[in-house]
Amino acid sequence: MIELRSAHDGFTLGAHRAPARAPRRGAVVVIQEIFGVSDHIRERCDAFAAAGYDALAPSLFDRIEPGFAAALDADGLQRGRAAVAASPWPQVVADVQAAIDALAPPVFITGFCYGGAVAWLAAARCRGLTAAAAFYGRLINDLLDDAPRVPILLHYGARDPSIPTAAVDAVRARFPALPVHLYDAGHGFCRAGSPDHAPDACALATARTLAFFDEHRPRGDA
């Protein structure tokens, strides 16, 4: 873990860091689900590190509880949703900006569920990003007035009851040029232990994300 200082209020939050373990291709901010910087998010950081990215996952709910971690059960869902409600978007954006600023360019961002919406918002409001990828970001539909300023790739599960087809279609209608991929999966298909875990869908979505980042990586960058 390293520490980041947010310009929002000077708060110091933690962040899990996974240095690149292959020839460096850039850096990526990995944004948590509502459960905090969990084993799943650390595993996602490791996957990006193995692909040549310095990965950093800021602990966005540290103001609520240092090292916030919620279980994958009904109580954990309640705690996570309460944490989201207690974390206003300007605060979250500033915390993410601190993570971006801690990394050497080019810097990308990705996120899962709640983190998918945070990645969308960062693509619209943060500085210093090159591209973004959002995995099953349900709250993106609440943020459509925030138009991304950098290229962004969207991944959804075709059988996700929390993000019905109409919600995906609304994003496509508002931003028809954005690449959107649907997978034969439900929600949380990249999280091991989820009933919707779909390793093949996760592997394909990850490969597409890496290819998208590489497509938009400035040529000549290591």
- Catalytic pick among 54, 62, 95, 160: 160
Candidates 16, 155, 187, 216; catalytic one: 187
Q: What angle, 0 to 180 degrees and rounded to 10, lies between the N-to-C axes of helices 89-101 and 114-125?
A: 70
Q: Is 216 a catalytic residue?
A: no
pLDDT tens track for 164-222 = 999 999 999 999 999 999 999 999 999 998 889 999 999 999 999 999 999 999 986 54
The residues facing 53 across adjacent strands are 26
Could you give all domains of the chain from N- to C-terminal order, each with its CATH number? 2-216 (3.40.50.1820)
Residue 139 has pLDDT above 90, yes or no: yes
Cα separation of 138 and 136, whole Å? 6
Specify the pTM: 0.97
What is the predicted pLDDT for the residue at 219? 80
Residue 220: what pLDDT?
66
Going along the chain, which residue ranges are E strands?
Answer: 2-5, 12-18, 26-31, 53-58, 107-112, 129-135, 152-157, 180-183
155 in catalytic set: no
Judge whether 187 counts as a catalytic residue.
yes
The rounded radius of gyration (Å) of the Cα atoms in the chain is 16
Residues 67, 41 contacting (CB under 8 angstroms): no
Query: Which of these is catalytic: 16, 45, 113, 216?
Result: 113
Query: pLDDT tens across 39-52, in order?
Result: 999 999 999 999 99
